[in-house]
């Protein structure tokens, strides 16, 4: 059996709250609690992660209602989930999964190999909207089910990240009879079921008595609070128990000083970028894209927008990726160079563009900072604030000039091999290099090709690569199990409990 490329997870120093003892009465009350309220930034547009790109879906359902063959743990390691074991052919093109026995869907029906075959054929089908990982399933040439507990997946091309991909939310296994309703009432094999979805307000999950693992939290409510200050206020007021992802870094010191809370700071796989529409003039000229990159001071952005809780990046790769290459030195902050490149490209200034911003603070606040930097080189960015649904139907469909978004999906560089992806990068050279990397089985050569992929995106300046955000989790003292690091965007509720 071969194993997936291991991802080295960077652990940033933990920032813990004061260590004063919790009173006996409070400790006793918390130990008896079996419910929790978590505050999230975005409400998911649906509850089926296989049909939509929004990471907010996985935050609610992944590992909780819906599960996949493998599980990605907080340290980035891949372990068994619905598959109890697997073997990989020497050429890396065939994976044989032995499925866990006795697993049932929450409606009582048995989980077996037919559900896996159904789910992956659905993901491969013409018209599938599983865009985030469509290439993964398109690469599956055949799905064999010799018995109820065995699945053999044969790939067109070897993929060293395949086991990791099987642990992402896009690869969850759906109930064949109820997949059509998964967007609003998913039926899965996980430890929770949907109790209530109050649109615009909250989603509540309750423990499913028939699950193979019984979680200690019997009821969890996700509250959706878009404003960062309002989320912190809800935590301080006791209305919520935890903020799995604090995006108000200016509040960190206040929360660290409050003995009621524990603050943990870790790493993520996120890539915060200013996306450029490569299809539109003048952005189809690499000199213009390079000018935009030279115009942005990444350190000033991270200090001003993220209060320093992040790291600059120079390509669409995170420092947590095994084989990461630091390319930030390729385009140091240089407004004079930016102006010279615009002039060389024949761009008359002022150049008027639209900068479309989704709701998260890094985008809204960051957009103001970016616009001010661009203005110094003659690029006048008109800010357009949109809601998440509008962003998905606008910029994500290719209707934009510039936008700012944090791509949280790990190892999602293969989107650059898809010419119709929203930024419109069409490079045969990159596609060929990505194919060589996917087919390579020698670890040393894979790392070399991985570095080449990073450099090609940097040289082509497809987007302006800004930051890798830190993961900041805040919880009431006694609530344990929040992920300190985010190899993927998930809230593993079964691992949480009151102590």
CATH code for position 422: 3.10.105.10
Least confident of 47-56, 351-360, 448-457: 47-56
Residue 159 lies in a domain: yes
Model pLDDT, residue 6: 32
Nearest one of 254, 251, 249 to 272, comparing CA atoms: 249
Q: What pLDDT does residue 25 have?
A: 47
At 457 the pLDDT is 98
Alpha-carbon span 404 to 276, nearest angstrom: 9
Q: Does position 235 have pLDDT exceeding 80, yes or no?
A: yes
**63/165 same-domain check:** yes
Check: CB of residue 267 under 8 Å from CB of residue 10: yes
What distance in Å separates the CA atoms of residue 288 and residue 282, rounded to the nearest whole number?
7
* Beta strands per DSSP E along 127-181: 140-147, 150-155
Which structure tokens are listed for 38? 């978590």
Are both 291 and 430 inside the same structural domain? Answer: yes
- Percent of the chain topping pLDDT 70: 93
The verdict on 330 and 439 lying in the same domain is yes
Rounded CA separation 42/349 (Å): 37
Specify whether the CB–CB gap between 483 and 490 falls below 8 A.
yes
Quick one: DSSP state of residue 268?
B
The predicted model gives 308-335 an average pLDDT of 95
pLDDT at residue 128 tops 80: no
pLDDT value for 30: 57
Please identify, among 162, 187, 212, the residue that sits at the C-terminal boundary of a domain: 187
Structure tokens at 441: 């089985």
* 310-323: pLDDT as tens digits: 999 999 999 988 88
Q: pLDDT value at position 7?
A: 32
Claim to verify: residue 177 and residue 282 sit in the same structural domain: no
Query: How confident is the model over 246-271, as a mean pLDDT?
Result: 93
Are residues 277 and 182 located together in one domain of the fold?
no
Q: Please check whether residues 321 and 457 belong to one and the same domain.
A: yes
- 478-495 in b/e burial notation, b at 16+ Cβ within 10 A? bbebbbbbbbbbbbbbbb
CA distance 278 to 275: 9
At residue 38, the pLDDT reads 98
Mean pLDDT of all residues belonging to the chain: 91
Q: Is the pLDDT of residue 62 over 70?
A: yes
Helix H segments across 252-398?
252-256, 286-294, 298-305, 335-344, 361-375, 388-393
Whether 455 maps to a domain, the answer reads yes
Q: Has residue 248 been placed in a domain?
A: no
Q: Give the whole-angstrom CA distance, residue 478 versus residue 121.
A: 44
pLDDT band at 53 (very low <50, low <70, confident <90, very high): low
Q: Name the band, by pLDDT with cuts 50, 70 and 90, for residue 134.
A: confident
Kindly indicate the confidence band of residue 336, based on its pLDDT and cuts at 50, 70 and 90: very high
pLDDT confidence of residue 354: 98
pTM of the model: 0.80
pLDDT, tens digit (0-9, with 9 covering 90-100), for 78-104: 999 999 999 999 888 999 999 999 999
Cα–Cα distance for residue pair 45/418, rounded to 1 Å: 24
Average pLDDT over residues 489-498: 95
Closest by CA position to 453, among listed 483, 473, 427: 427
**Position with higher pLDDT, 131 vs 365:** 365
175 and 298 in a single domain? The answer is: no
* Residues 421, 298 share a domain: yes
Max CA distance (Å), the chain? 71
- In angstroms and rounded to an integer, the radius of gyration of the C-alpha atoms of the chain is 23
Q: Is residue 207 part of a domain?
A: no
Range of the domain at 159: 44-187
Task: Please state the φ and ψ torsions of residue 57, each to the nearest 5 degrees.
Answer: -65, -50
Provide the CATH number for the domain around residue 135.
Answer: 3.90.76.10
Q: Given the structure tokens 């930034």, which residue do they identify?
A: 41
- Do residues 285 and 402 share a domain? yes
The pLDDT tens digits of the residues spanning 391-445 come to 999 999 999 999 999 998 888 898 999 999 999 999 999 999 998 988 787 889 9
pLDDT above 90: residue 306 = yes
Query: Is the separation of the CB atoms in 118 and 179 below 8 Å?
Result: yes
H/E stretch holding 289: helix 286-294
**Residue 196 included in any domain:** no
Residue 350 maps to a domain: yes
Residues 275 and 182 in one domain: no
Residue that wins the pLDDT comparison between 7 and 63? 63
Q: Evaluate if residue 307 carries a pLDDT over 70.
A: yes
Q: Decide the pairing of beta strands 402-407 and 351-357.
A: parallel
Confidence label for 52 from pLDDT (cuts 50, 70 and 90):
confident
The answer to whether the beta carbons of residues 208 and 214 sit under 8 Å apart is no
The residue among 257, 254, 255 whose CA lies nearest residue 242 is 255
Which phi and psi angles does 492 have, rounded to 5°? -80, 90
Do 401 and 300 lie in one domain? The reply is yes
Q: pLDDT band for 2, please (50, 70, 90 cuts).
A: very low
Confidence label for 20 from pLDDT (cuts 50, 70 and 90)? very low
Is residue 481 domain-resident? no
DSSP strand pairing (379-385 vs 402-407): unpaired
**Alpha-carbon distance 119 to 250, whole Å?**
43
Say whether both 173 and 317 belong to one domain: no
Domain end point (choices 126, 160, 187): 187
Residue 248 has pLDDT above 90, yes or no: no
d(CA 222, CA 240): 9
Confidence band of 190 (pLDDT split at 50, 70, 90): very high
What are the distances in angstroms from CA 221 to CA 38, 172, 214, 471?
A: 6, 22, 17, 21
pLDDT of residue 272: 97
Residues 6+ apart with CB under 8 A from 118: 174, 176, 179
Position 15 scores a pLDDT of: 33
Number of domains in the chain: 2
Q: What is the pLDDT, as a whole number, of residue 31?
A: 53
CA distance 143 to 141: 7
Residues with Cβ within 8 Å of 183's Cβ and at least 6 positions away in sequence, in order, are 46, 47, 48, 51
Predicted confidence at residue 132, as pLDDT, reads: 60
- Residue 451's CB is within 10 A of a number of other CB atoms, namely 17
Measured CA to CA, the distance from residue 14 to residue 214 in angstroms comes to: 29
Domain-embedded: residue 380: yes
Does the pLDDT value for residue 218 go beyond 90? yes
Q: What is the DSSP-derived secondary structure letter of residue 171?
A: G
């Amino acid at each position: 059996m071969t194993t997936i490329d291991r991802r080295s997870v960077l652990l940033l120093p933990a920032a813990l709250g004061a260590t004063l003892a919790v009173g006996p009465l409070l400790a006793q009350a918390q130990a008896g609690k079996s419910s929790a309220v978590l505050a999230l930034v975005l409400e998911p547009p649906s509850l089926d992660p296989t049909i939509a790109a929004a990471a907010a879906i996985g935050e609610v359902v992944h590992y909780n209602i819906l599960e996949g063959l493998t599980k990605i743990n907080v340290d980035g390691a891949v372990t068994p989930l619905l598959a109890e074991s697997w073997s990989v052919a020497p050429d890396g093109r065939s994976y044989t999964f032995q499925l866990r026995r006795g697993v049932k869907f929450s409606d009582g029906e048995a989980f077996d190999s037919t559900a896996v075959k159904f789910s992956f054929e659905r993901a491969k089908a013409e018209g599938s909207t599983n865009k985030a990982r469509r290439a993964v399933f398109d690469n599956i040439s055949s799905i064999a089910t010799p018995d109820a507990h065995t699945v053999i997946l044969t790939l067109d091309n070897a993929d060293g990240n395949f086991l990791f991909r099987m642990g992402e939310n896009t690869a969850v296994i759906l109930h064949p009879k109820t997949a059509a309703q998964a967007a609003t009432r998913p039926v899965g094999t996980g430890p929770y079921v949907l109790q209530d979805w109050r649109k615009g307000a909250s989603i509540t999950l309750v423990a499913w008595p028939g699950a193979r693992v019984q979680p200690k939290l019997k009821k969890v409510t996700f509250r959706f609070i878009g404003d960062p200050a309002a989320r912190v206020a809800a935590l301080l007021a006791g209305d919520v128990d935890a903020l799995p992802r604090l995006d108000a870094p200016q509040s960190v010191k206040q929360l660290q000083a409050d003995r009621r809370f524990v603050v943990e700071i870790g790493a993520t796989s996120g890539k915060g970028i200013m996306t450029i529409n490569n299809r539109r003039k003048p952005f189809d000229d690499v000199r213009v894209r390079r000018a935009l990159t030279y115009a942005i001071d990444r350190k000033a952005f991270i200090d001003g927008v993220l209060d320093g809780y992040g790291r600059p990046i120079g390509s669409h790769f995170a420092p947590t990726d095994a084989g990461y290459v630091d390319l930030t030195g390729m385009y140091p902050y240089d407004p004079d160079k930016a102006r010279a490149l615009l002039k060389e490209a024949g761009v008359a200034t002022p150049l008027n563009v639209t900068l479309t911003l989704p709701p998260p603070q890094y985008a809204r606040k960051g957009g103001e900072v970016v616009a001010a930097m661009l203005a110094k080189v003659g690029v006048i960015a008109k800010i357009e604030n949109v809601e998440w649904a509008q962003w998905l139907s606008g910029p994500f469909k290719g209707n934009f000039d510039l936008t700012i978004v944090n791509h949280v999906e790990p190892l999602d560089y293969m989107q650059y091999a898809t010419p119709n992806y929203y930024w419109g990068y069409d490079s045969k050279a990159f596609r060929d290099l990505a194919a060589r990397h996917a087919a390579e089985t020698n670890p040393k050569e894979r790392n070399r090709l991985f570095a080449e992929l990073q450099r090609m995106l940097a040289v082509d300046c497809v987007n302006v690569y800004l930051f890798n955000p830190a993961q900041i989790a805040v919880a009431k003292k006694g609530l344990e199990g929040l992920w300190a690091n985010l190899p993927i965007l998930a809230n593993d509720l079964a691992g949480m409990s009151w102590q």
